[in-house]
A = this chain, B = another copy of it.
Amino acid sequence: MKQYNLGIEATLEIIGGKWKALIICLLMSGVKRTSELQRNIHGISQKVLIQQLRELEKDGLVSRHVYQQMPPKVEYSLTEYGVTANKIVDVMCSWGKENIQMRQQRGEDIVLLEEMLPDH
Name A's B-contacting residues (CB within 8 A): 1-12, 14, 16, 18, 21-22, 25, 40, 42, 84-85, 87-89, 91-100, 108-114, 117
Interface of A is mostly: helix
CA separation between A92 and B5, bound complex, in Å?
13
Let me know if A4 and B91 touch, CB within 8 A.
no
17 CB contacts below 8 A, A to B, read A4-B100, A4-B110, A4-B112, A4-B113, A4-B114, A5-B113, A6-B22, A6-B114, A7-B95, A7-B98, A7-B99, A7-B112, A8-B25, A9-B96, A11-B93, A88-B91, A88-B95
Tell me how far the C-beta of A60 lies from the nearest C-beta in chain B, rounded to whole angstroms: 9
Let me know if B1 and A96 touch, CB within 8 A.
no
